[in-house]
Amino acid sequence: MSYSGLGVYQQQPPKRPSRAPLWIALATAVVLIGGGVTTFVLLNAGDDRAAPTPTSASSAAPEPDWQPVDDDQTGVAYELPPSWESGGGGASGRIRLNTTYVSRPFECQGRSMIQAQAMAGSVVDDDPEQVATELVNRIAAGGYTVNGAPPEIGEPRVESGDDDAVRLSVEVTPKSANACYAPKATVSAVALRDGAKVCVFVLNVAEGGPHAAEGPSEGDVRRILRSVRLS
C-alpha cells in the first residue's frame, strides 16, 4: 500500500485506459475487510459511471449556480457547488454509502488530488446520533491513520439534535503531512431518521495547507450542510 494523501493509505488504483488516477488529499469511505481497515478507492477523474439525475425535492429551489442532488437510493437530498463531480459508492462498517461527490481536482507533485468529499447512505437503525457519531469517527480514524499511528480526533460536537435528526462534526489532526496535504480536517455528518432506517450525509474536508482554495470555503461548508434534508 502507498501513502496517497492526508493520512490516507490506499492500494495502487487499477489502471484505466487513457485516464490518470485521482489521488485523494483526505479520507475516503472506510471498508472493514476481514477485521482490518482499508480505504475503498472509488474516485477517478472522468469516471464513466452515470451520476444520479439531480432533481429538486423541495419547493425551495437552490440558486442556479449550485447543483441539487436528490438521491432515492440514500433517501437524502442536498446541494453542492457546480464544480463537484460524481464518484461512486462504498461502505463504512455497517453503513452503506451509495453516493460520493468530490471537489474540483488540482495538481500537486504530478498527482491529481482533491480537498473535499461528500458521501450519503443509510442503515437500519433508530438512533441518528449514534449513526452520525459512528460514521464520522470511523472515517476520521480509518482515513487519517499514518504509519499505523491514529490521528487525534476531537470529541463529536453536536450542533443540533433530537430523536429524529442530528448534526455533528469532529476535528481531525493526522500525525503526518507534506507539501501537498493539509494539516487538519473536519468530518461532519447530518443523520435523519426515516422510518426504520437512518439516512446520513457526510462531508469530509481537508482544511488549511497550500491548496485550501481548491476546496469549499467555510460558507460553502455551512451551505452544504444546511441543505441536507430527506428526499
pLDDT of residue 49: 36
The mean of the pLDDT values for the chain is 75
Res 10: pLDDT: 34
Looking up cell 431518521, which residue turns up? 193
Q: Could you tell me if 28 and 40 are in contact, meaning their C-beta atoms sit under 8 angstroms apart?
A: yes
Neighbour count for residue 200 (Cβ, 10 Å): 29
Cell of 207: 482544511
The percent of residues in the chain predicted with pLDDT above 70, rounded, is 71
pLDDT tops 90 at residue 231: no
- Domains in the chain (CATH in brackets) are 2-230 (3.40.1000.10)
Bridge partners, 198 (sequence order): 123, 193
**Phi and psi at residue 128, to the nearest 5°:** -60, -40
The pTM assigned to this predicted structure is 0.74
At 83-94, the pLDDT tens digits run 999 877 777 778
